[in-house]
Structure formats: C-alpha cells, structure tokens
C-alpha cells in the first residue's frame, strides 16, 4: 500500500488530466489546510472546475484586524505554494491579484509587492511544515472531488498536530 506522499509522486508521471487533478487537489488543499490552521470556518472544497476552470476552497473570511487580513492573504497564497512542493505550477493569477488588492486596500503597505513576498515567505515555511497534512487532505479530495466544510475541517484537524510556525511568522511581520 502506497503512502499518500508516494501516491502523489508515483502518479505524477501520469497523463495531463491526472496532473491537472493532482495539482488542483494539492492547490485547493493548501488553501483549505491553512484556512483551518488559521481558525477559519471552512464551507466547501472542490476540484471540480468552476466557470473559470478552477477548483475552489471556500471559507468565511475574517478582515476584523490587520493581522486577520494578513492571515487571509496567507490563505490566498497557500494554494500555489502547496502545489509547488510537488513540482506543479498552478494558475495563481486570481490569488496573486486578490492578495495585492488586499495589501493595498486593507494594509496600506508602502510597497505591496514586498509585503506580499514577506507573507509568501511565511506561507512557504508554513506549507512546508504542513506538507504531510496537505498531501493527505489532497488525496482525500482527489478521491471525493468535493468535500463539505465540516467534513473537510474534521479531516484536516485529524492530521494537523499542534501549533504551526506559520502564525508566529505572520505575527513577526508586525501587522
């Protein structure tokens, strides 16, 4: 029996369609796992294509403080970072644009691109530390295609053990 990590790597050599499903599952798993780690209410996660041809991870956003906005931006950036751990490049144009918009609008940062890269560094570290939970959740998402929020959150909480370095890194940014 292959582990989840072996499954992703072994089947990575598959067809374009399988690559799309794997990359989409990993991408959406990145968003979903960070949503749960950052205590957001997860609504739904799906790798079925929407009108834009993308999967979706929906949660209830929190913009009640600058710190919460930074966490929302981290969640936006997590999808591409998660997929890249396995060598996939996913379409992150919408995530990147929404992140920059939030930085300009909500954080009033003097250099939005630099702020995004500081947040991305935290996300990259956080996603790396959550690699196995992301992979396990992506595997389940690969099988089910769509998971409701409560079930998805329960699956994630079942594999994420203890606090992560992500929150400390984001807090160190000073927002």
Adjacent-strand bridge partners of 45: 57, 147
Please provide the average confidence, as pLDDT, over all residues in the chain: 86
Q: What is the pLDDT of residue 61?
A: 95
Share of the chain above pLDDT 70, in %: 86
| Chain segment 154-172, per-residue pLDDT in tens | 999 988 877 788 999 999 9
Q: What pLDDT does residue 9 have?
A: 47
Q: For residue 55, what pLDDT is reported?
A: 87
Which residues have a Cβ under 8 Å from the Cβ of 89 and sit 6 or more positions away? 23, 80, 83
Contact between 42 and 14 under an 8 Å Cβ cutoff? The reply is no
User: Residue 75's pLDDT is what?
Assistant: 97
Identify the band that residue 100 occupies on the pLDDT scale cut at 50, 70 and 90.
very high
Q: What are phi and psi of 27, to 5 degrees?
A: -60, -55
Write the class of the CATH domain 11-171: mainly alpha
Query: Are the C-beta atoms of residues 34 and 12 closer than 8 Å to each other?
Result: no
Per-residue pLDDT tens over the stretch 11-65: 444 444 445 567 889 999 999 999 999 999 999 999 987 666 678 999 999 999 9
């Amino acid at each position: 029996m292959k582990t989840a990590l072996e499954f992703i790597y072994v089947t990575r050599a598959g067809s374009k369609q399988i690559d799309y499903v794997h990359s989409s599952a990993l991408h959406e798993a990145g968003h979903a796992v960070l949503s749960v780690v950052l205590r957001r209410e997860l609504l739904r996660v799906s790798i079925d294509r929407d009108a834009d041809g993308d999967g979706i991870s929906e949660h209830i956003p929190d913009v009640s403080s600058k710190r919460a906005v930074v966490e929302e931006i981290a969640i936006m950036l997590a999808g591409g970072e998660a997929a890249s751990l396995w060598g996939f490049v996913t379409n992150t144009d919408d995530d990147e644009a929404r992140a920059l918009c939030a930085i300009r609008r909500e954080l009033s940062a003097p250099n939005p691109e630099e702020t995004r890269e500081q947040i991305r560094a935290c996300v990259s570290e956080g996603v790396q530390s959550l690699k196995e939970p992301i992979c396990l959740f992506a595997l389940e998402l690969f099988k089910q295609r769509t998971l409701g929020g409560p079930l998805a959150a329960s699956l994630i909480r079942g594999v994420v053990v203890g606090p992560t370095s992500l929150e400390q890194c984001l807090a160190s940014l000073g927002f």
